[in-house]
Structures are given as C-alpha cells and as structure tokens.
C-alpha cells in the first residue's frame, strides 16, 4: 500500500481482556517497529523486526506483550490481560532500512477500562 | 538521566515570531539526528534531518553540537500552521531504533 496501515484505529478493552493490534507496513520495507506513546509523552520503543526476525524486544514492558511478523510483512502486537497502564497510542513504523526512511502509521488508540 | 531531554513547553508565540527549541542527548554514540513534527492525534512525521554543519529548509534551521551533545531547531516567521509538537529524535549506537524526546508544544497565536 501507499502508507503504513494500522487497525483498529480505536480499541476499548476491559481490564484483563486480550487485544491484538495489526500493522501493514509499506510493501518492501524490511524494517518494522512498534512504539507506545502515552499522553503527553514522546513515542517509546517497544520492538523491532528485520523481515520476520525480531532483533530487538528490549522495550516490551512485560511478558504480557508479544509481537510477531511471521512472513516478514504484516505484524501483530498482542497484549494479554490488559491493565489500565497499557492505555496509550500504539504506533507502527516501517523503513527500507535507512534511519531517515521511517514512515509511521496513524496508530491504534487503546483505552483499558 | 533520560536519553533525550526537551523542554515540554508550551511555547506560545505570536504569528511572525522567531522561536527556538533545544534538545540534549546523553548517548555520545548517536549517529543521526532528526526533528519530527506531530500534530494533535496524528502520527509523527519527519520534519528534517540535522547535520553537523547545520542545515536549513525554508523557515526552519537545524543545528547539531556534538561537543555539547545538543541539537536545536529555529523557526522564523512563525505561521499558525506551525502549531504542533516538535519531537527531538536520535538514531544510532548499536541499535536500529529511533529514540524520541517528550516533545515541545508550540502554539502560534494570531
């Protein structure tokens, strides 16, 4: 596609519920990143894929967070047993590999009630 | 100490004013630096890269001071449409990720 597509755009989850957030990167982009942005803060790195390999998951805040990119294109970020502190905008970005080639999706706004 | 420090603002300036933002970083291995712009409820978008020699794009000028580990963004002749959050970003070291500051909110008043 022409840009990075994320779905759903908004998600309201009850505390304890599992959620799955989807990211469709730009076709051909080998690098894919997930970021978490809390209100009033800058985006915080969660995890990074190069093709299907998850090369860095140092930013995942707990073992309730899991990401995958099985075929090196679409990626899913899964959050198990959601908690209120998980409420944030989750941004996906893809890149052909260069530092200035990042394109961000519009994000998924997750609200845990 | 946070990896990137920015004054969160808000900076309230009249149209036509010149405004400058600074940002300090702690990772001396950082290789690349950027300013991103983020409008309310939108995704961040690259505004400009920052080079050691300084670079200009129209009304925007970015500078990097490696010795003091800070970057700056100068906006001349502010427009209402410049109102947004400006994020200081660096890339490099051993990782391939972008590290963002908290952002500086600019509000240009008519």
Residue A13 in this model has a pLDDT that exceeds 80 = yes
Please enumerate in sequence order all residues whose Cβ is within 8 A of that of A74, keeping only pairs 6 or more positions apart, or say none. Answer: A22, A23, A24, A25
Q: How far apart are the first and last CA of chain B?
A: 37
CB contact under 8 A, B98 and A91: no
Whether A50 contacts A33, CB under 8 Å:
no
User: How does pLDDT run across B25-55, given as a tens digit for each residue?
Assistant: 888 777 789 999 999 999 999 999 998 888 9
Query: Of A103, A57, A96, A104, nearest to A78 (Cα)?
Result: A57
User: How does pLDDT run across A25-77, given as a tens digit for each residue?
Assistant: 999 999 999 999 999 999 999 999 999 999 999 999 999 999 999 999 999 99
| Minimum Cα–Cα distance from B88: chain A residue | A42
Beta strand pairing call for B19-25 and B70-75: antiparallel
Q: Compute the nearest-CA separation of A79 from chain B (Å).
A: 21
User: How does pLDDT run across B63-100, given as a tens digit for each residue?
Assistant: 999 888 999 999 999 999 999 999 999 886 566 788 99
CB contact under 8 A, B44 and A99: no
Residues of chain A with a CB closer than 8 angstroms to some CB in chain B:
31, 33, 35, 40-45, 48, 50, 55-56, 59, 91, 93, 99-100, 102, 104-107
pLDDT band at A1 (very low <50, low <70, confident <90, very high): low
User: Given CA atoms B94, B98, B103, B108 in this order, what sign does their dihedral have?
Assistant: positive
Q: Compute the nearest-CA separation of A27 from chain B (Å).
A: 19
Asked if B91 has any chain A CB less than 8 Å from its own CB, the reply is yes
List the beta bridge partners of residue B56. B61
CB contact under 8 A, B102 and A40: yes
Instruction: Give dist(CA A70, CA B96) in Å, integer.
Output: 20
Whether A48 contacts A33, CB under 8 Å:
yes
Q: Compute the nearest-CA separation of A104 from chain B (Å).
A: 6
| Minimum Cα–Cα distance from B38: chain A residue | A42
| Minimum Cα–Cα distance from B34: chain A residue | A100
Chain B hits for A105, CB-CB cut-off 8 Å, are 43
User: How does pLDDT run across B6-18, given as a tens digit for each residue?
Assistant: 988 899 999 999 9
Asked if B49 has any chain A CB less than 8 Å from its own CB, the reply is yes
Residue A90's H or E segment, with its range, is strand A88-95
Q: Compute the nearest-CA separation of B22 from chain A (Å).
A: 15
- Tell whether omega for the bond before A8 is within 30 degrees of 0, i.e. cis: yes
Please state the φ and ψ torsions of residue A101, each to the nearest 5 degrees.
Answer: -105, 15
**What is the CB neighbour count within 10 angstroms for residue A25?**
27
Query: Of A102, A108, A105, nearest to A31 (Cα)?
Result: A102
Total beta-carbon pairs less than 8 A apart between chain A and chain B: 55
Give the pLDDT confidence score for residue A101 in this predicted structure. 77
């Amino acid at each position: 596609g022409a840009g990075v597509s994320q779905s759903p755009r908004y998600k309201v989850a009850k505390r304890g519920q599992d959620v799955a957030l989807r990211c469709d990167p730009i076709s051909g982009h080998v690098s894919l990143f997930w970021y978490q942005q809390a209100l009033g803060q800058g985006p915080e790195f969660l995890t990074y894929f190069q093709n299907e390999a998850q090369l860095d998951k140092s930013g995942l805040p707990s073992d309730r967070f899991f990401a995958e990119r099985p075929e090196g294109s679409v990626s899913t970020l899964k959050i198990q047993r959601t908690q209120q502190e998980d409420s944030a905008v989750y941004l996906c970005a893809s890149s052909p590999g260069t530092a200035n080639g990042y394109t961000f999706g519009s994000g998924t706004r997750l609200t845990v009630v | 100490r946070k990896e990137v420090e920015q004054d969160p603002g808000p900076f309230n300036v009249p149209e036509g004013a010149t405004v400058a933002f600074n940002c300090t970083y702690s990772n001396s291995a950082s290789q690349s630096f950027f300013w991103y712009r983020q409008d309310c409820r939108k995704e961040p978008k690259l505004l400009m890269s920052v080079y050691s020699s300084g670079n200009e794009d129209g009304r925007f000028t970015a500078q990097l001071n490696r010795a003091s580990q800070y970057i700056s963004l100068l906006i001349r002749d502010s427009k209402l449409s410049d109102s947004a959050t400006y994020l200081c970003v660096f890339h490099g070291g051993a990782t391939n990720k972008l590290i963002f500051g908290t952002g500086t909110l600019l509000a240009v008043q008519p």
